[in-house]
Amino acid sequence: MTPDARAAIADACRALAADGLVKGTAGNVSVRVDDGIAITATGVVFAQATVDDVSVVDHDGRVVVGSLAPSSELGLHLAAYADDAVGAVVHTHAPAAIALSLVSDRLPCIHYQQLTLGGEIEVVPFAVFGSPELAASTGAALTTANAAILAHHGAVTTGRDLADAVANTALLEWACDIYLRARAVAAPAELSPEQRAEVVAAAVATAYGQKRTV
């Protein structure tokens, strides 16, 4: 399981770089494994990531597989995994998320697809990267959503597995971009609680977003 997880993380890193969601070493990715978590090492260039750039740490943060020190944001990842439903975490310095964090303290629910992220997304106040303060505030934000925006920093998304977390990263960046485009013209309208409830009911009734036979 661990070798597969490490390879999957390396693949995801290269894909995130190709999609412009990270630059250079600015980001980190992890997956829950039996031994603890597999996480990108510090200083990894995402576009060139390999299996050897991913370490496995136990629940106390000690490296048990690999020769490289884990990401400086290890504490943030461990905080996210306090939720047993989280299987993977992606942290990027995605441009639209950063831009939004400079002009707003939240991403309102402006599109129904945001409901898969938890609806409205909090912008976590600035704290130094790798700090216990940032880990604690981000972990708290992720208890009510699958995403958080870090002020002057970037974005964090969680998922049931790595594919889910990566998809949530792309969705969050898309929503941030739409919000910024709308805000350049006027104050963006938000979906009301009633409208959100109607969307949830319709999604459940129609199995929205799931493949099904006719």
Token digits of residue 121: 């997304």
Provide the pLDDT for residue 210.
Answer: 75
Helical (H) or strand (E) element with 4: helix 2-18
Contact present, 10 and 49 (Cβ < 8 Å): yes
Token digits of residue 128: 């130094």
Provide the sign of the torsion angle of the four alpha carbons 196, 198, 202, 205, taken in this order: positive
* Main-chain dihedrals φ then ψ at residue 161, nearest 5 degrees: -145, 180
Share of the chain above pLDDT 90, in %: 90
Distances (CA, A) of 108 to 61, 153, 168, 200: 35, 19, 16, 17
In tens, the pLDDT along 34-54 reads 989 999 999 999 999 999 999
Token digits of residue 45: 């260039």
Look-up of token digits 């978590």: 37
pLDDT for residue 3 is more than 70: no
How far apart are the C-alpha atoms of 32 and 201, rounded to whole Å?
Answer: 31
Is 73 an annotated catalytic residue? yes
DSSP 69: P
Q: What is the pTM of this model?
A: 0.94
In tens, the pLDDT along 58-94 reads 989 999 999 999 999 999 999 999 999 999 999 999 9
Provide the pLDDT for residue 2.
Answer: 65
Look-up of token digits 């129609």: 206
How far apart are the C-alpha atoms of 107 and 117, rounded to whole Å?
Answer: 11
